[in-house]
Structure 1
């Protein structure tokens, strides 16, 4: 899909995309392990710092960020604002290749198979593939059924990706699924109808800047069929603008037009596209990746699930395995539990989660993708209040045992790691609790609660009632008031991310890298240590005693780390760091009493220039 948004500039020939600048940009991004910018709600001074460390390199790819208040007009953006869960679909001419060309498999995101960094398929040959594209097993009703069973509220599908092939009947270009293929059908008509029948919203992805097969398009040929120089204006006026008019007038009401990768596209082009969308579809939303801050909401980086609450309307886009489009070898599916964990993390941080599937070339959805989505959807049907019209957690971050979503004065505690001790700890809740209940579908069992200052202890059964995620419902006497300071749980391992640390005499920023071509990973890390460096966290210790300390880090050779309690015990250890963010044991440390502490970590010896700290972990030793 996305993720490599600037690499196409290497072949630009029009005036907006100078070759040398973009090559340098791309290499800088890879070398610096590019970061994704987002605006974060301040939690503590450490969290404010975390929001400032991200560079703007990814913003240059996806366009200026958009942060607007949550929608108040129910006629516009309601499904986005309240549904919180949607299906993304990447399906196109590339899907029939499934990442295999001439018997060779290319490992990476399938929709980039044509590109020079993958199979380098010439334009003429790529266009010939359309003559064999015959998705006879495409079933719009089945896809809508999967989305509905999964608990999703709308579908956004690729009308045209960077390869320029239109997956609908476009009159602006004959390189489309009706005119160029033996199938000779418009699947978007069928899917729009199926979504309406199923009560789902419908929207289009449209690559408005990149077009690798149309003269003048981003990454496309620099000359037309007559050998004349083609400009971006040629592409925009002859193809892009007419196609956006088509998708916003010929498929009934749509919820979203999801533009992508504006690159250096001048603002007046984006303004015109947004104007057309709003004119033809007054209730539709425009994605933040339209560029120049002209979208209606913010879209985070590919596969990015935030750890802090984020203000305004925003979405995270993710995929059910590693590739956005179908890749024949990719069987690394997210489990139902992982889907729910990422969904609830997005809702708990105040946003929307859009999860992608990549149908095969014949139009069918991979069976395992459908199964895992439907299994997660069964849980959502039992606990719809946890997801829909739910707001962000007042803790502003996850808790050791799970996450929290909110509806008014009711909190849903989503427990992934069930405390076998029979006690679940909820730190720093100042509002009085009216009732606590353990839910099992429609059944509700009252639970006893007690307080130790602002720490709530909930008495729970020894076994979790749900296999995937258990839910405890708290009704409060008023608006929840919470101190978001991290607390070390007495039962369950507590992870303090470097993202939340105050860092002195070292650096902290987010780095992102590709595991495979287009598969983005990322971490906020602390690095460039010296004798006077520290990463520190303010934490509340709920129960005194010994805790086992481990660090997650990477580096080279053997590295010595120190973990210290300010005005308390200090421990240190040396470990081999020749792994990518492995969790290493350091030792036991003692908190002599319950209360608030400052914990500091520093790298003391070894290859300190390579040491990269991701997190510190505390687990009860007994």
Structure 2
């Protein structure tokens, strides 16, 4: 499902909620408060409800590639194992790859165990690969024998089992389906243009003989579907994408179609793989991420996200206005690595303590993260998720213009009241020196009225270790800000907004709010070649200039100290007096220097 093609069209369109009758209203013990519980039960029949309200889902990449675990012909290939037939990975022969099905027998697969893990993690629905780019169906397809029932000794339909387990546990269920790429079916994108007998095959043949019938199957035979997650549309003709959307909406009126169907035909937008945006995005959208570095199982990949990392990505996605879908990759036996289970359950216990931070939560009025963490909203309440707990007993909140009725630290259903002090445009919360929660602490602000007004100018926290300001929040003068996306390993995507052309006389200018006079250590996050001279200056005439080497990856480079003599609004300008023909900058970091 990787975004490997620059010509992929990511679709987005407004979602119209369609209400259907609810046959049975399940008791929702995980909801907080009787009023909220009743409200959400009444919405259970709405199209897109679990996507928009639930905010958190499980993605599962599982297939023949899981049996390989990133090994082909005795050699380990680092990256995304689903692409083992690609020249950038193992360049596996298609017939040899298909033969892997003869030994694929995942006897440890337990649908209820997986569904229970998703529920324990606090996820509201599961999306699983019904067919990836290799063309192998992980369900019992009647139109193509290359499937898990007809081609493997396993001879069971795990999708049927998982859909039923989800239904029993009150989870939503849906499918990933690779509609354009199918490397083992002649005529499809990435496949041969002739069949085994040498007869010519076109995309039209593939579409009508396999793709369309299989989408009919997965939308007819597995009960209610939350959504169908299409992927890598590439240059698929628009008429085919339109036909697939029509089939999904006809067979599953409540189901959403992902934006990666192409041609802006989807019901919501999917960002690039492994991307959490730095600023709020309007409309319905999702971020798709991994628990380690890969989507499918890779034997070597032990670079797991910690419970705190998962929660930070989840909360920050919600705070930007999106939904977070986190992937797991069962191995060839159908087992889930213990580290994944432990991490998801630990983060799930945190969600159970603070469900109001996740379910039904809306985006932050600041429209960006804050130095100590992030903010989500529930009507007239703001929930501050404090990733880095201040040691001074003070938490600084910049630019909040609406009056606070009350403030307190969340502890389950209890609120420990805290004092509030207004210092100019800054709200200062008097908090305990010891952080209340071992992972992420939560503070509730009850506002006076539902209209919450914020000055979202970037602010320099006077205490938190590092204030990192992205170039996306700066004014670009005679230079260009763009989003750079690249792969660390094949298929492991990274994303940074950065500025180019500073070497041609350009400047990048931040407007920041400074609470009180103070000194800051300045670092620039840069990449490039050779030695570059960087200049940082303020509107007060303070300046730091230094030469630093730039490498091929983004790294922080120290520039020097800068002092602000007066509190209030200031500008910080970065330029490049010398060198840097191939140098980009993505952020400036300002770390307060403490003096007694």
TM-score, normalised via structure 1 length: 0.89
How far apart in 1 are the matches of 2:503 and 2:255?
52
1:86 and 2:68 matched? no
Task: Select 1:109's aligned residue among 73, 80, 87.
Answer: 80
Question: Which residue does 1:422 correspond to in 2?
Answer: 393
* Structure 1 spans left out of the alignment, 5+ residues: 7-57
How far apart in 2 are the matches of 1:520 and 1:103?
26
Task: Select 1:585's aligned residue among 543, 558, 564.
Answer: 558
1:100 and 2:71 matched? yes
Q: Contact 2:187–2:193 (CA<8 Å) still a contact in 1? A: yes
Q: How many residues align?
A: 567
1:166 and 2:137 matched? yes
Measured after TM superposition, the shift of residue 116 of structure 1 is 2.6
Q: Contact 1:525–1:613 (CA<8 Å) still a contact in 2? A: yes
How far apart in 2 are the matches of 1:122 and 1:169?
24
* Structure 2 spans left out of the alignment, 5+ residues: 20-42
Question: Which residue does 2:347 correspond to in 1?
Answer: 376
Q: Contact 1:87–1:356 (CA<8 Å) still a contact in 2? A: yes
Q: Contact 1:527–1:609 (CA<8 Å) still a contact in 2? A: no
Q: Any residues of structure 2 matched to 1:217-616 within 5 Å, and which?
A: 217-478=188-449, 479-492=451-464, 493-530=466-503, 532-578=505-551, 580-605=553-578, 607-616=579-588
Q: Contact 2:351–2:358 (CA<8 Å) still a contact in 1? A: yes
Measured after TM superposition, the shift of residue 123 of structure 1 is 2.0
**Secondary structure at the counterpart of residue 235 of structure 1:** helix
Q: Contact 1:505–1:530 (CA<8 Å) still a contact in 2? A: no
Q: Contact 1:549–1:588 (CA<8 Å) still a contact in 2? A: yes
Task: Select 2:14's aligned residue among 65, 68, 79.
Answer: 68
Between 505-514 and 466-475, report the one with greater CA deviation. Answer: 505-514
How far apart in 2 are the matches of 1:217 and 1:278?
24
**Deviation digits for residues 422-474 of structure 1 (CA, Å, limit 9, x no counterpart):** 11111111101000001122332100001123311000111111111100000
**Secondary structure at the counterpart of residue 240 of structure 1:** helix
Question: Which residue does 2:38 correspond to in 1?
Answer: none
Q: Contact 1:321–1:334 (CA<8 Å) still a contact in 2? A: yes
RMSD over aligned Cα atoms: 1.3
How far apart in 2 are the matches of 1:530 and 1:322?
35
Measured after TM superposition, the shift of residue 531 of structure 1 is 6.0
How far apart in 2 are the matches of 1:76 and 1:442?
30
How far apart in 2 are the matches of 1:268 and 1:308?
34
How far apart in 2 are the matches of 1:414 and 1:377?
15
Cα pair distance change 1:188/1:119, threshold 3 Å: same
Q: Contact 1:167–1:188 (CA<8 Å) still a contact in 2? A: yes
Q: Contact 1:349–1:392 (CA<8 Å) still a contact in 2? A: yes
How far apart in 2 are the matches of 1:262 and 1:306?
22
Q: Contact 2:380–2:448 (CA<8 Å) still a contact in 1? A: yes
Cα pair distance change 1:331/1:319, threshold 3 Å: same
How far apart in 2 are the matches of 1:71 and 1:333?
36
Question: Which residue does 1:31 correspond to in 2?
Answer: none
How far apart in 2 are the matches of 1:579 and 1:170?
46
